Amino acid sequence: MKKLIVFLVIFGFVLEAMAQNQIKINKSQLFKDVQTLSSDEYEGRQVGTEGSKKAQAFLLGRFKEVGLKPINNSYEQKFSPKSGINATNLYGMIEGKVKDKYIVLTAHYDHLGKKDNDVYNGADDNASGVAALLSYADYFNRNKPNYSIIFLFVDAEEIGLKGADFFVKNSPVDKASILLNINCDMISRNENKVLYACGTFHYPLLKNLFTLEMRKYPFTLRFGHDQVGKNEDWTYSSDHGPFHKAKIPFIYFGVEDHADYHQTTDTFDKVDKIFYEGVSNFILDFLLHVDKNWEKSYK
């Protein structure tokens, strides 16, 4: 009888662990993080402002909750994008089984700040990408990846990709060891339910990694916005740009501009929760596929 009881207790723990691992994204926390970062309290998160400092404090608190570890004993990378302006990239890492090869995930946390009494909350741009990265950190803290993953929350994107450029030029790891950059910027809404994956024109072999069955996701995935000379070339439109300049392959996930882009109306209530949850789950599934299949697919 004692052996049976011990077995049942152990079996119960195993089932509980399996159930926890099957929960990929905590959607209530995902939405909460977007709502928090895009609230008036954070004053639009403009680089160098008190609102930005509040956002940094919030993110550093979330780092500890989701299990991100410092890189070279620090979570912060300070720089000055312009004279008189102090900026801070924030980063943390989940160490993989292959410790010295890295996938870098990026999302910028800065936005446009305040003008007079109007707050540019930036829910889609880009609290949405930031919250998604936090949810991925939480998942990989519970499920060790094959490659080490750097979670980079970029500052000063809105004034010319300054944070990403500084990171690439002052990388805390050997740039040759960075396999791929996956950038998430504006992923929470699109009236046509379309998400773009930008970058495969420059790195055609990356298309080998897009083998997920899309019917289970509530949106359409399209490739494009990455051909030089074509209308709306997004190659240098967000934080993936400096990685591309450094010849590091990238995939940028984002939506086309909407009526609230860079307006005071880019607020949490406009987030399409079904679309956003679906996109966030898809990007995580894509990341898992990349982490598992990079060696045999990117050749």
Per the confidence metrics, is the pTM higher than 0.75?
yes
Torsion 19-22-24-26 (CA) sign: negative
Would you give the distance in Å from CA 223 to the centre of its chain? 19
User: 259: exposed, middle or buried (C-beta count within 10 Å: 0-12, 13-18, 19+)?
Assistant: exposed
- Position 229 scores a pLDDT of 80
In a domain, 263, yes or no: yes
- Position 23 scores a pLDDT of 67
In a domain, 20, yes or no: no
Q: Which residues of the chain register pLDDT less than 50?
A: 2-21
- Position 22 scores a pLDDT of 52
Boundaries of domain holding 245: 26-297
pLDDT tens string 242-276 = 999 999 999 999 999 999 999 999 999 999 999 99
- What tokens were used for 187? 């992923």
- What tokens were used for 174? 């050997």
In a domain, 171, yes or no: yes
- Position 299 scores a pLDDT of 76
Count of domains for the chain: 1
In a domain, 193, yes or no: yes
- Cα distances (Å, whole numbers) of residue 163 to 92, 102, 154, 242: 15, 19, 5, 9
- Position 230 scores a pLDDT of 82
In a domain, 36, yes or no: yes
In a domain, 49, yes or no: yes
CATH of the domain at 107: 3.40.630.10
In a domain, 17, yes or no: no
In a domain, 10, yes or no: no
pLDDT tens string 36-50 = 999 999 999 999 999
Q: How far is the C-alpha of 211 from the C-alpha of 222, rounded, in Å?
A: 13
